[in-house]
Structure 1
Amino acid sequence: MPISQWPVQERPREKLLSRGARQLSDAELLALFIGTGSRGRNAVELGQELLAGCGGLAALLNTESELPRVRGLGTAKQCRLKAIIELARRASESALCRGTGLRNPGDSAQFLEERLAGYPYEVFAAIFLDNRHRVLAFEEMFRGTIDSASVHPREVVRACIRHNAAAVIFAHNHPSGVPEPSEADRAITAELTRAMSLIGVRVLDHFVVGAGCSVSLAERGML
């Protein structure tokens, strides 16, 4: 049914104006950017299909390649969506911008959860810090399959030298949503810590990111 035939109070735009944006579903919010539907499907249904094709909102916001093919989602609509996705990504990154000082695991945990939790495959990332624990850079360094990502210490060493880092925080996600560190996680952390010690870079933490939560190996005493 076209949105124009919905009860006025249930239409996304009118609902937003009367109740606030937080009352809208993910698909309804997307519908406001999509604008119009296609033959036989309204904008909310297009939003639902887009979310299903990506695997959810978090995965959509982490999409760096082409959006899933959805009939009725033409070039103009895709451009609008890609623009808002990029704005959301920049807003997230601004919370951990260059020069930000990190004092405790909570300073970086929320950013890492927002950035990594939505991927349907493993991603290994690093936050590079100076000797006062101020952020120099954030990099997603390795990507893998649904249950593993190959991490190469030599490449991490190169990145530390490139950023002139004095310290580093590692993170990777578990697509299963369960952030419990595995034996492999502990082993690669130990290997990376040894490699970093050779160039005088301290490993402050390694976060395992799950669905809306994360585990700090430093807080677990695993570093």
Structure 2
Amino acid sequence: MADYRGLGFDPAPGHAGAVAAASDRLSVAFAVPGSAPEEWTGAAAEGFWTRLVAVVSELTAVRRAMRAAAEVLDGWATTLLGNQRRAEELDRRALTVRRALAEAADEVDRTGAMAAFTSADGQAHEQAVARHEQLRRQLDEVLEEARLLERDHRAEARRVAERLRAEEPSTAIADTLASFSSMTAELASVLLGPPRPASTRGAAAAFRAGLG
């Protein structure tokens, strides 16, 4: 997390790497089986595929939702990086102004002390005060830009969260995924060949992790 010493707050909170990782998990491919191997027959095969047909459309919907959520997260990662670059630029400006403001405050004190002893330094003190006030206004402007950035950033984050919730599968579908995963674990060697790196259970977990 960046240390915004100039601004005093983080206008664009978030971790782009974590967002990208969630998108990667949601982008994992998993196959929706089509038909049973011809050599597998009998009551077990018929029972399995009768159950499978009932959930194929739901699995397809989950896969589509996961891909849509990954696209949302990819867009948010891009926005997040852009907002954070803007926040860092504002923080650099704020730090520069704060340093100048500290120097101006010292000058106000110095010229003020001298003006107490001689009227000749009164003009220098007035100029120092004017310079200090000008820098204070500049800092206020930078901080206002940062507050507007924070407002827009949080508003966009809420919109992204709403879009992700809109893509989230129903509990019934998620339960179907878990049930399907347990069932295919027993018959995967017959139906699907060697185990895949990402199971359907892993896909469902990735979806929940991305929404979290």
| Superposition TM-score, scaled by structure 1 size | 0.19
Structure 1 or 2: more strand by fraction: 1
> Which of the pair has more CA radius of gyration?
2
Q: Which has the higher contact order (CA 8 A, sep 6+)?
A: 2
Scaled by the length of structure 2, the TM-score of the pair is: 0.20
